[in-house]
């Protein structure tokens, strides 16, 4: 199994600002995934992050709003840009291994 650490675990941010979420994995992985869980909703995939290439975004998500970095095989960041209250969600980092996805503890973001 993979151990995933996310920072920060929670934050309260002013609208119009940006927040960068960090994800560190204890082993090298090819792909890392970023999900969002809006209040009372399911987990929705934002993007897939490959090391050495641009992230691949799912429908409804764009790079300008959610820029992602993947500088090496154990680390990734997701930035939530120009935040509005609608961005209040739990953001989760995930990696895959042997047919399973492992998740970090999530970052609970509240935008006021």
Partner 1 sequence: DQQVKQNSPSLSVQEGRISILNCDYTNSMFDYFLWYKKYPAEGPTFLISISSIKDKNEDGRFTVFLNKSAKHLSLHIVPSQPGDSAVYFCAASAEAGFGNEKLTFGTGTRLTIIP
**Positions in the binding site for partner 1 (CB under 8 A):** 4, 6, 9, 29-31, 33, 35, 41-45, 48, 92, 94-106, 108
81 versus 108: smaller Cβ distance to partner 1: 108
Closest CA to 76 of 109, 36, 45, 34: 34
Least Å distance between CB 28 and partner 1?
A: 10
For residues 73 and 28, the answer to whether their CB atoms sit within 8 Å is yes
Provide the 8-state DSSP code for 30: S
For residues 65 and 78, the answer to whether their CB atoms sit within 8 Å is no
77 versus 107: smaller Cβ distance to partner 1: 107
Least Å distance between CB 95 and partner 1?
A: 8
Q: What is the largest CA-CA distance in the chain?
A: 40
The 3-class SS string of 40-79 reads CCCEEEEEEEECCCCCEECCCCCCCCCCEEEEECCEEEEE
7 versus 81: smaller Cβ distance to partner 1: 7
Least Å distance between CB 48 and partner 1?
A: 6
13 versus 31: smaller Cβ distance to partner 1: 31
Least Å distance between CB 31 and partner 1?
A: 6
């Amino acid at each position: 199994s993979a151990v995933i650490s996310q920072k920060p675990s929670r934050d309260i941010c002013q609208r119009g600002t940006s927040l960068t979420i960090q994800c560190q994995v204890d082993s090298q992985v090819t792909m890392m995934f970023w999900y969002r869980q809006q209040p009372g909703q399911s987990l929705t995939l934002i993007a897939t992050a490959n090391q050495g290439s641009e992230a691949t975004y799912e429908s409804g998500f764009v790079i300008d709003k959610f820029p992602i970095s993947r500088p090496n095989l154990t680390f990734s960041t997701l930035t939530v840009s120009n935040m509005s209250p609608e961005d209040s969600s739990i953001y989760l980092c995930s990696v895959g291994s042997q047919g399973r996805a492992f998740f970090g503890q999530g970052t609970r973001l509240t935008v006021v």
